[in-house]
Amino acid sequence: MRACHRAVGEWLEPIGIRGAVDAAGNLRAVYPGQNPAAPRLLIGSHLDTVPNAGAYDGVLGLLLAIALIEELGGERLPFAVELVGFSEEEGVRFGAPFIGSRALVGRMDPALLGLRDREGVTVQEAIERFGLDPSRLPEAAIADDVLAFLEFHIEQGPTLEHLGLPLAAVEAIVGQTRSTLTFRGQANHAETTTMALRRDALAEAAEWMVAVEREAQSTAGLVATVGAVEARPGATNVIPGEACLTLDLRHASDPVRTRAGRRLTALAEEISARRRLSLESRVLLEQPAVALDPFLTAQAEEAIRGAGCTPHRMPSGAGHDAMILAERVPAAMIFLRSPGGISHDPFESVWPEDVAYAIASGVGLLKQLAVSRAFLLNTRTSRA
């Protein structure tokens, strides 16, 4: 992340602004407005991604924000533009996503700061080891002068490619639940313990994983992923005494997602009781589905049309920092086509012409908002 901050800082230099890192590790830089008291529009995305990922998830959104400022050529708008590179969105290290954006909405609570990684390091300790001061986290929260948040992101799916469209305005982001489950049995010698006497935690986990897939396949719109499995002690000739798994549930309807989570937890408990094992489950994230701002979504559609593209609206099946910022300010997203629908993989890519369309639509959107009284006045007064 330090190297990433340095690189972004170098890209900011030609447009005459400097970045600063807040207490949550977010890189932030402000392009001034027409006067020092001008309100702010936030544009950005996350700088982190997942292991063995591609080059565009998250960081493309910040690069596009920088490109928009370059395209302005020094022109000042009636609002300042704050560029934000979020430090942690994926939740890979601590199991809970959106750490960077949660700081901007004032949700860095003790429970979040106390989460530990696999080495036992807490979020708070990681912040301190990075050279930042957790006591200054309240200073990272956005002020009342923030008008809205805009995020560009690759679609991470095949819809736009299937439709033959380069861009889309995102109208909603599905809700998600992230949990961990630990099945505990009894480790024992693989050769000397008969099958009838085993308390195999991994076998129980495998039975439950099949049930997770079956649940998702039988519930329209539900996606369920067991993305990480760890068997302990992890030796070839030892029956696993413990199996730790993650569960990621997503659906556009919060009640459907919640009911599915309850059913899967109850099923894990039933399997544990039948196999004479114990179960520990923990919810790391309950993120409701989020409808993005209707006015900004319409403005994004207009800007996409103005860039020479056919406008399209769609929901996002993936979570994004925009859903966190939407708790405090109006938020909007613009998707770029993902060739092959591939993301979170080294083959993740974008087409240069789509990036050009995104820049053109972004500049058009800035110009539209600069002359919109509904944007400059109503968004602030509606929050009050």
pLDDT in tens, 112-145: 999 999 999 999 999 999 999 999 999 999 999 9
Domain boundary residue, one of 263, 287, 311? 287
- 148 shares its domain with 212: no
Domain boundary residue, one of 287, 314, 335? 287
Task: Report helix, strand or coil for 237.
Answer: coil
- 130 shares its domain with 83: yes
Q: Residue range 227-244: average pLDDT?
A: 95
Tell me the whole-structure pTM to 2 decimals: 0.81
The Cβ of residue 281 has, within 10 Å, a number of other Cβ atoms equal to 16
Per-residue pLDDT for 233 more than 50? Answer: yes
CA–CA distance, 44 with 62 (Å, rounded to integer): 5
Would the CA dihedral through 272, 278, 283, 284 be positive or negative? Answer: negative
Give the pLDDT band of residue 382 (cuts 50, 70, 90): very low
Q: What is the pLDDT of residue 380?
A: 45
Q: What is the pLDDT of residue 69?
A: 97
Q: Residue range 320-345: average pLDDT?
A: 96
Q: How far apart are the first and last CA of the chain?
A: 36
What are the C-alpha distances in Å from 167 to residues 24, 49, 210, 236, 312? 31, 22, 36, 49, 7
19 phi, psi to nearest 5 deg: -95, 155
Q: What is the pLDDT of residue 374?
A: 85
Q: What is the pLDDT of residue 59?
A: 96
Task: Report helix, strand or coil for 72.
Answer: helix
Per-residue pLDDT for 237 more than 70? Answer: yes
Count of the separate structural domains present in the chain:
2
Q: What is the pLDDT of residue 95?
A: 87
Query: Do 148 and 370 form a contact (C-beta atoms < 8 A)?
Result: no
CA–CA distance, 360 with 7 (Å, rounded to integer): 24
pLDDT digits (tens, 9 = 90+) for 149-176: 999 999 999 999 999 999 999 999 999 9
Per-residue pLDDT for 60 more than 80? Answer: yes
What are the C-alpha distances in Å from 177 to residues 223, 251, 258, 285? 11, 9, 8, 5
Query: Do 25 and 88 form a contact (C-beta atoms < 8 A)?
Result: yes
pLDDT above 90 as % of the chain: 92
CA–CA distance, 5 with 16 (Å, rounded to integer): 16
- 191 shares its domain with 308: no
The Cβ of residue 20 has, within 10 Å, a number of other Cβ atoms equal to 11
Give the pLDDT band of residue 383 (cuts 50, 70, 90): very low
Domain boundary residue, one of 272, 287, 302? 287
- 143 shares its domain with 179: no
Q: What is the pLDDT of residue 287?
A: 85
What average pLDDT is seen over the chain?
Answer: 94
Going by C-alpha positions, the residue among 372, 324, 375 that lies closest to residue 148 is 375
Give the domain CATH number at 256. 3.30.70.360
Q: Which domain holds residue 378?
A: 2-173+289-383
Per-residue pLDDT for 257 more than 90? Answer: yes
Give the pLDDT band of residue 360 (cuts 50, 70, 90): very high
Q: What is the pLDDT of residue 378?
A: 62
| Strand partners of residue 229 | 245
- 315 shares its domain with 378: yes
